[in-house]
Amino acid sequence: MGAVLDPGFRPAVLARRKFATQAHIPVRIAIEQADGSVFHQLTGVLPAGHPQATANDFFVERLVKFLLWSRGGWRIWVDGPAELADSLRRHYLNDATGRFDSEIIGERIYDRPIRIEFTRELPAEKSSTAPLGRHLDGCRIGFDLGGSDRKVAAVRDGEVVFSEETVWDPYFQADPQYHIDGIQDSLRKAAAHLPRVDAIGGSAAGVYVNNRVKVASLFRGVPSELFNSRVRDLFLELRGAWGGIPFDVVNDGEITALSGSMSLGDNAVLGLSMGTSTAGGYVTPEGNITSWLNELAFTPFDYSPAARHDEWSGDFGCGVQCFSQQAVGRLLAPAGIEGTAELPLPEKLKHVQQLMANDDPRARKIYETIGTYLGYGVAHLADFHILRHVLVLGRVTSGVGGDIILSKAREVLATEFPELAGQIALHMPDEKEKRHGQAIAAASLPIIS
């Protein structure tokens, strides 16, 4: 099924499966994390004499990029043709997009650049999972920091007694005091509705390890020296300002998945949030989280070389261009909606939502296109996750447009992947769940001793 406003769309799942029908030379890949966790992936390539063997480098690099941003890791072990390992090594040393991945994933998250190891013996697979949240006792505050708004809620024994959404513009603020002041403002407002504050839990776009900020788009505008001195330990400082109470912060995608698991009463849930960027999270069939990154904003979903390039990483076909306000913004012109070029992305989205409320067929095509991306995207993710549920939320899904997105995604699954359509349920929370579900899940993170 084609994407109505994006005829060049080349779904990653279809491209990989077609390539696999002829790629019979086995290649084993292992991704190693700093804690020693190792994830294996088996793929295949074409023999050297095949007329299309030049595609080998492309398909292996796209797969490794998916693994890096979804699983995470710094050392990549390759058991296959030696030229593949050499090609990957050159990519991470010389290509701009490879250097971006090496700097952000390798150096900033795992404290070392990406390294390619050619081997005939992969390290043993090893991983760990852990429970996340689901603690509802006491007086808690939950917050979520997005690129265009920040949300906060006061929760007392699992019941939301106050919630608020505040517009802000954190992306290109050079002074981190802007972020600190905004977060504190929201926390104080929530605290005013509780007799005391026992714990604070939060979510934000980015990677957080032991409450330390590793990398986050919210702080893109902060110079590196200020990032290291003011941002990296920002949430530890906030915990101190609140008397050292339990204070936990995780990636917003994890909260999306946790919220879905809590509301559905089931596990094997992937959460996908379509906001200013794209956030992903995963709850295993056992109800735990993994050490995976789940940074779906940077994972490739469109294999067309003509796909739009991401403004930050410079790479093409990434999730952020399919599942966010950026997707809405770039589809305006193909839809024939003019006069919006100077508007910021949140205003472009509001304009499309208003058109959709008036049943404008141009707006409908935008949502149908995003729904097509989602259908193929779920099938792509199902090749790497055990899934029973996919929970979709975020500002892009608000209003009638969200229903169109899910309807089109279900149509794609039923037509192209009927075996998955019967296994995976797509969900969208109702308005109350959208307002409160994320906040309750975030507030449930800390354990009150």
The span from the CA of 397 to the CA of 323, in Å, is 10
- What confidence category does residue 399 fall into, taking pLDDT thresholds of 50, 70 and 90? very high
Q: What is the mean pLDDT of residues 60-84?
A: 97
Q: Which two tokens stand for residue 86?
A: 């050499």
- What confidence category does residue 435 fall into, taking pLDDT thresholds of 50, 70 and 90? low
Would the CA dihedral through 10, 13, 17, 20 be positive or negative? positive
pLDDT at 420 over 90: yes
115-119, 273-277, 285-289 — most confident range: 115-119
Q: Is the pTM of this model over 0.85?
A: yes
Residue from 192, 201, 20, 216 nearest 108 by CA? 216
Count of alpha carbons within 13 Å of 109, Cβ hemisphere only?
27
The span from the CA of 184 to the CA of 188, in Å, is 6
Residue from 365, 366, 367, 381 nearest 413 by CA? 381
In the prediction, which pLDDT does 437 show? 77
pLDDT at 148 over 90: no
In the prediction, which pLDDT does 432 show? 66
Is 368 in a helix, a strand, or coil?
A: helix
The span from the CA of 447 to the CA of 297, in Å, is 30
Amino acid at the residue 393: L
Q: What is the mean pLDDT of residues 62-70?
A: 97
User: Is beta strand 389-393 parallel, antiparallel or unpaired with respect to 269-274?
Assistant: parallel
Q: What is the mean pLDDT of residues 326-340?
A: 96
The span from the CA of 189 to the CA of 204, in Å, is 19
Q: What is the mean pLDDT of residues 97-123?
A: 95
193-215 tens-digit pLDDT: 999 999 999 999 888 988 999 98
Q: What 8-state DSSP symbol labels residue 219?
A: G
25-56 tens-digit pLDDT: 999 999 999 889 999 999 999 999 999 999 99
- Whole-number mean pLDDT of the chain? 94
In the prediction, which pLDDT does 256 show? 87
Ramachandran quadrant class, 339 (left: phi over 0; alpha: psi -120 to 50; beta: rest)? left
Write phi, then psi, for 24 (nearest 5 degrees): -105, 0
In the prediction, which pLDDT does 90 show? 97
- What confidence category does residue 24 fall into, taking pLDDT thresholds of 50, 70 and 90? very high
In the prediction, which pLDDT does 357 show? 96
283-331 tens-digit pLDDT: 999 999 888 999 999 999 999 999 999 988 999 999 999 999 999 999 9
Q: What DSSP letter does each residue of 28-69 carry, written as one string? A: EEEEE-TTS-EEEEEEEE--TTSTTTTHHHHHHHHHHHHHHH
Q: Give the C-alpha distances (Å, rounded to integers) separating 281 from 117, 275, 326, 405, 424.
A: 29, 14, 20, 19, 16
End-to-end CA distance of the chain: 53
